[in-house]
Structure 1
């Protein structure tokens, strides 16, 4: 394969924002609810994420940086009736509705697996890379994200001859869209045609499709179908699979908590999909490459709750330069004996996954997001990679610069009382102003205009 046609999967990790806190806002996300009101450490969270990014870069993988959003969302608070100066808005919200204030402070944009759905040029009719920002309309704090996400994506992928940016789907439950957390691309290699697997939790139109009963299904079939149409993916390269509603009710709020794919490997729990045997048969039959490997983890080895608490499937699967495949897992997987034993068994079995690397991401994990939640995957040719905003790609120099930026601007701890401090807004906006210069992002935040 020539350098010009060589392709890579680039992981753009969310840089944890200065207002990272545990507000317990995500119903259906067990970790988020269990750690509500705990004391958070934004500085540690951001530094932990940067260590992971740098480690991926050092292994020869292409690694990018996705900037945080401006929080608190002061304009959202104003739309909700809190008026006056920024400080007055914060003070009023803290007194009258501390829950709304916590919501508008959420740093949930760190989980960039929910930022958008991405289809590479190998899969699209116009041979361009397509992005559709997720509307995230199931949760108010996340529904604040799509506009800024679109601005960031356009600043990162800013060549209109190479990249296509679609407006997020209508902000209605009918089109609930949670982005790449419910989307997997399977292919022989990142430069070949792929099968785009869209996983949904329920349907707004088809009454024959039964969804979960306890927790909400955040991705609808209609949203997945709309994204596939927008991205001009041929019929033979797309498939729609329903997530098992029973596991959604057990805390599997996104498909990437129970299944993950990379290249020609699908790593999933045996309860990941509704009517799993049929679902996997459909995927095998639709696969457009030569050889697909499905690594299916049995319930007797790893229960659903083990998967949820350890985030085994919210690990990353990455292809290394030597052709091997590595599982990038949170340290919580080591601490669960069933999960640890299964990983040891899997690495010695006959499948492409032959190494594992564990990371301390406790600050993210306690809020309900593991390694896979933190990254948006973008498959790019060598030429397309050259069209990306190069200042958003990790390097040795960028790692040092971003660590210094975090040390300068982030607090060690955040509690509810800290959110009532108007100075936190000033600190955060000052930090993001500086970050836009480090990453060459221009005016992506509303407060800059």
Structure 2
């Protein structure tokens, strides 16, 4: 860590998504901001051969704080974010208590104030994430909530979701949905149907996700509302969102590394450390997610960082909780599976990991390396091959399907809040 207020990142390939430029040049930082001013006595970081991007932003981090801090807390999530190359994380609301009133938003923001990474906070759509009574959107917005989601739980009742979209439109806030038809998954194990059949279970039917996507898209169209679709996993969902965007609907969508890099066959090999919700699907679905990233169906890449202890994950197929950690592997997975395969250019990757996430949460000072923006920078060695060792994660939890897997590309430095963290 270096706390000097002036930093010069020299000789890197600077990927700037606002101006859509990619050139070898210097990036200058002073007093927590990108600057064009001359610098005296600046700390220099030589980025020759490295990629210099706006600081990565994860809109989908389960920090587990308050209430489940044996899995993760805000401090450990911040450290994991920096270690993985993220300058900013957005904390999800499925905590204990649920983030459904201004006092819990204030708790998260106050506790995060002096952490390494920037931390923003979401809030629930319904009180207690029960899917019944709506929260006070305006009060939570004023407290600092940047978007609203019952993530982990879908808003199942169509009338409640319709009211939520209408009220969110009035309040000028964004709703994000975990799309899942709970009626369709009753009695099913949280895994793809192919993997489930091999294990003697009934898996989540494809319509469990798709029915909810279709329902919500219809409401968005009828109301002229906005909605953000979290962690889409099916080709049918990708196609539906593409059609909605072509019609001009106000929809955005998120892809996760596990849904573009893994298939349900990995669940059979990796066991509960590859169990998540939505579950892994087959290769045509993973390919559709990658193609959706390339075509622009997906606006952002989110980790859905979901820490659980080893003891919890050892509970067997049915009892093991859903989710994997993602902050410390996402950069490498994006490079290995998207950049190296020419699915995304560096500029497109910067858009989906910094510029677009900043836009979605109305953060006008992040997502760019232009003068005046916050001094958040992710510096990547695109050629570095490394083997994932979960025991070295900064996260409290180690539940990753990539332990022991060799990946290409790694963040070697992060600047967050104007402070340089060297990672090599």
TM, length-normalised to structure 1: 0.30
Between Structure 1 and Structure 2, the one with more helix by share is 1
| Larger RCO, structure (CA 8 Å, separation 6 or more) | 1
Between Structure 1 and Structure 2, the one with more strand by share is 2
